[in-house]
Chain A
């Protein structure tokens, strides 16, 4: 059994899926991010002045790109995997000799592909509003890759447990969005009182946004090494959970 062919097939299927419905998957993030730039960057941002030594527009660009990567890598896998469960075409893979890690890697890879493609689109849109500087391209690539993997895994676990389409919107609405908005996308956490700075330290998105911002601007509210360790721990934990759930057939096998 050639696992690389199976992996390529799942990846191809996943990429074909979100590119086939590009109006639903690729266009909305570009529009949303343009509105953020207009409202928070141009209109309100001009009154805020500098943050972290940079004008507000430049400061929020990395966070906005990362926000798009997070929501798209998560929702791609949550939606695609749950649809496959709902239409039962997940059985195509379950009856085939595809190892569980290949199923996980295929779906996560698809989510990462969409997250990073949307991230690229948002970056290109942001060039219309602000000049982007790059401090360390490798930190940017590593952060966007690992963050998209983390949230793609999260979306997969959500979809495994989901029993209805409502269930795949609960986590993004009630957990992901608050964590993202409180994750330092629009502000430096150094502006917060000490207590809330401490609370922010348990929000993983703080580490992702700051590592990504460091890649562009060279500034961060957290230690970069710590940020990568936190992201790494999340990936290993979520991957282990996803593998265990699929191996046990939770939500998939009777």
Chain B
């Protein structure tokens, strides 16, 4: 029996996985996630994200290494470790022919939650996730966004301390996605540790406090979101201007006028937006709105993966999805 170490929700050390046929999906990764964290695990397709989640949840047998969940080693205390985790997998994996209520109440039962309490929790989460009116229909009749929400409700039926979501917002519209973000933020504020993989880097930047980037079965970055974003040297903003006759000129910053109402400005880490606005005001230019040209995290992500690739052999490649 291992002793629980309370500060970490998840501890992974030297975790490796080699599939039959020799593909090495994980090459001895180390990772820790603190309790209460909102943690992003990012990486291109085939990087090892889903394998990592699979090992943590016992769907994939590891080759070697150690995984502890709330201090419980999955080799010696697997059932205890599992009881802390709620999983929202990437693919829909519920019985398409069962009703939502049956799916949820049965899932609660697998964790030792009785049917009466199971029905109460099913009502609670189906209402919170706006699925209550669908409770008696077969799961196959739900839309994609509803199916994603059903899987979140299912993962919460035993009220886990850790919620692992493998691309939970893939293929859902922006309104549903934002609703899910709010729901996850509320859960996190209630103390649930959330580990998220996503291809929407904006999602990771907005929700997560800490981040690990995995590529080719190795962790290439493991830091706080703040530190990662601080690595950005230059950030590009697009300013929408009120139409004017005279071209805009800016000193000490690089700027490009795209047309008579759009200006693109590159700011270095120590530059201030105030100096840009001051110069524009002095020229009588009115700024209507402003936005980042590219997602900041996306730029970093692409750079990190590209840097790693440049150290590989020329014939090695992987797909970057962002």
Contacts and interface: CB of A to CB of B under 8 A. Distances in A.
Interface string A1-36: 111011011101100100010000000000000000
A16 B99 CA distance: 11
A84 interface: yes
A96 interface: yes
Interface stretch (B82-90, B206-214, B245-253): B82-90
A226 B219 CA distance: 62
Contacts of A88: 89, 91, 93
Interface residues of A, number: 29
Contact of B106 (A2, A13, A94, A95): A13
Given A94-B59, A97-B82, A87 B110 contact: no
B106 A1 contact: no
B60 A1 contact: no
A94 B95 contact: no
Contact of A84 (B83, B89, B95, B102): B95
A93 interface: yes
Nearest to B111: A96
Contact of A87 (B19, B89, B96): B96
Contacts of B105: 9
Contacts of B51: 254
Interface string B131-157: 000000000000000000000001000
Contacts, number: 90
A1 B83 contact: yes
A47 interface: no
Report the contact-size class of chain B (Cβ under 8 Å from the partner).
35 or more
A96 B107 contact: yes
A93 B110 contact: yes
B165 to A, nearest CB: 13
B112 A92 contact: no
A254 B61 contact: yes
A97 B82 CA distance: 6
Contacts of B83: 1, 97
Contacts of B114: 2, 5
B61 A96 contact: no
A166 B183 CA distance: 43
A89 interface: yes
B59 A6 contact: no
Given A1-B83, A20-B97, A254-B59, 20 more contacts: A2-B112, A6-B109, A10-B106, A13-B102, A13-B106, A89-B95, A92-B107, A94-B58, A95-B58, A95-B87, A96-B110, A97-B80, A97-B82, A97-B83, A98-B110, A249-B61, A253-B60, A253-B61, A254-B19, A254-B61
Which 4 pairs across A and B sit closest by C-beta, in order of nearness?
Answer: A9-B109, A97-B79, A96-B110, A2-B112
27 contacts: A1-B111, A2-B112, A2-B114, A5-B112, A6-B110, A9-B115, A10-B110, A13-B102, A20-B97, A84-B95, A87-B95, A88-B93, A89-B95, A91-B59, A92-B106, A92-B110, A94-B57, A94-B59, A95-B58, A96-B82, A96-B110, A96-B158, A97-B83, A98-B110, A99-B79, A253-B61, A254-B59
